[in-house]
Amino acid sequence: MRTAIDTNLLKTLGFPRHILPDFLVAAHALHRADLLLTADKGIPQRYFPTLRISNPLEPTGD
């Protein structure tokens, strides 16, 4: 029950449940890759502004 309450509180405050995994993946991409493919740009753009990010779900304009 405590987990459900904590999860609801985090959602109410606007915190995603997946913040730590997203942060770790973005940090790894910053140091080991040229580009991060993600549909959720929130965390990578906020904490890693120099990281190149591409959303595979967005049209490319071709």
pLDDT tens-digit profile of 11-61? Answer: 665 655 667 888 889 999 999 998 999 888 788 888 899 999 998 888 876
d(CA 40, CA 32): 19
- pTM for the model stands at 0.62
Tokens 């890759």, located at residue: 33
Q: What was the pLDDT predicted at 32?
A: 95
